[in-house]
Amino acid sequence: MVRTMAAIKISSKIDAEVWNELRELANETHQSVSGLLTEAVREYLQRRKVRPVVIAHLEQSIDENRRLGELLAG
């Protein structure tokens, strides 16, 4: 399934070496630079969203197993 979303134009600065690598990758993989940038930003955002969820589950597990932790430590 291909998602079609409205695109917006952005302006930003990027290191010249990174830009060149991005363009090379786009050419090698027959993708657009815009598509690669969108994919990279989407993956970055997903990683940033996952971390708080993982930490919340860890904290919940620690709370639920606090007595066991105390027994093992003592």
**Which segments in the chain show pLDDT lower than 50?**
none
What pLDDT is recorded for position 35?
Answer: 95
Q: Are 32 and 40 in contact (CB under 8 A)?
A: no
What pLDDT is recorded for position 70?
Answer: 87
Q: What are the domain boundaries of the chain?
A: 16-73
